[in-house]
Amino acid sequence: MSERFAELDRLAEQWGLSGLEPVGKGLEFSVYRAQGRDGLPVAVRLAHRRFDSNANDPHVDTRALLLQEYAIARHLAAHGLPVAEARELVLADDPALPDVLLSAYVPDDGSELDSFALGQLLARLHQVPPPRLTPVASEAVPTARAIAARIGRRWARIGDLVDDWPEPPDASLVAERLAGLTEDSLLHLDVRSDNIRRRHGRAVALLDWSNALLGPPALEFGRLVEYARYPENELDMEAIRSGYATLATVPPDSDPCLSVCRLDAALMLALVFLSEAPDPSRGPAAADHARELALRTIAPHA
């Protein structure tokens, strides 16, 4: 670990950074804030390990995630979308040293999130031509196959943690509901308060593109509906839909892709609260909710 911090100090000196301080830590990355040579704040993001694993994602390539973050941020900035400007990406030759991404640091004034404006921003995002990349979360297969596969994998993982967990949803029915899924839009799929920097309530940067996929807006809305169940995410679905509708057509709740993405998100959140950030109240409740969604939207295996 000392070698990694020594490398961080070396890069900070190379880039002319001062006042390096930690501001965030997640499963795979830590983020530091510093002051650049020009006096403006910057963010330094480094991976804890070259490869990682967690209950939701057993095989995480952190380098691939940083490469994706760099590419998406530059692509969206070129199309006028609010992101943290990606400035430099350093990939270490030595596996003991961290890969590091240098970006602009976007201040946040702590104001209440304007969900109507967020809906408009998401409509703009979904209309931007997607970048030419294979999203990490797709696991190198079409989006529909990736979602179906992780629903099965995460369902099984919850079964390791919850007593009397039922048989998984019928895989053929999951595939049927995802049939015809298009990959026309870039989807963030982790839109929540922690990933939105704002000023006077309006988003000035969407952060963390690790969960991004190519797909229809219905998948984004499925994730949003599930995130909105938790107050700390600060998502008002009625306002988001109203804002989105000013620029694009809102996917109906009856869309089968939206229903499947709700289940996908609910399983992910259940594993978060059961394993990654254990919560004795939310964990079992989230698992129960995921089971109810499966019963409502996808008939269980006979």
Domain that holds residue 245: 115-297
Encode pLDDT of 29-57 as tens digits.
Answer: 999 999 999 999 999 999 988 899 999 99
Is position 145 within any domain? yes
Q: What is the CATH number of the domain that holds 216?
A: 3.90.1200.10
The CA-atom distances, in angstroms, between 63 and each of 21, 34, 186, 214, 244 are 22, 22, 20, 20, 33
Is position 206 within any domain? yes
> Which residue among 73, 104, 135 closes a domain?
104
Encode pLDDT of 248-288 as tens digits.
Answer: 999 999 999 999 999 999 999 999 999 999 999 999 999 99
- Tell me, yes or no, whether 100 and 122 share the same domain: no
Q: What is the CATH number of the domain that holds 16?
A: 3.30.200.20
The torsion angles phi and psi of 105, rounded to 5 degrees, stand at -95, 125
- Tell me, yes or no, whether 93 and 126 share the same domain: no
- Tell me, yes or no, whether 129 and 75 share the same domain: no
193 touches 112 (CB < 8 A): no
> Which residue among 104, 123, 149 closes a domain?
104
- Tell me, yes or no, whether 141 and 207 share the same domain: yes
Is position 110 within any domain? no
Specify the pLDDT at position 302: 39
- Tell me, yes or no, whether 134 and 232 share the same domain: yes
Q: Is the pLDDT of residue 1 over 60?
A: no
Is position 302 within any domain? no
- Tell me, yes or no, whether 219 and 252 share the same domain: yes
- Tell me, yes or no, whether 149 and 268 share the same domain: yes
127 falls in which pLDDT band (50, 70, 90)?
very high
- Tell me, yes or no, whether 96 and 240 share the same domain: no
- Tell me, yes or no, whether 59 and 123 share the same domain: no
Q: Is the pLDDT of residue 117 over 60?
A: yes
| Dist CA 102 CA 73 (whole Å) | 12
2 falls in which pLDDT band (50, 70, 90)?
confident
- Tell me, yes or no, whether 124 and 213 share the same domain: yes
Mean pLDDT of 73-87: 97
Is position 268 within any domain? yes
Q: 50-55 long-range CB contacts below 8 Å, 24 or more apart?
A: 50/95, 50/99, 52/27, 52/28, 54/27, 54/275, 54/276, 55/157, 55/271, 55/272, 55/274, 55/275, 55/276
Is position 109 within any domain? no
Q: Is the pLDDT of residue 298 over 80?
A: no
Task: Count Cβ atoms within 10 A of the Cβ of residue 245 and give its class: 0-12 exposed, 13-18 middle, 19 or more buried.
Answer: middle
Mean residue pLDDT of the chain comes to: 94
Q: How many folded domains does the chain comprise?
A: 2
- Tell me, yes or no, whether 120 and 164 share the same domain: yes
- Tell me, yes or no, whether 127 and 181 share the same domain: yes
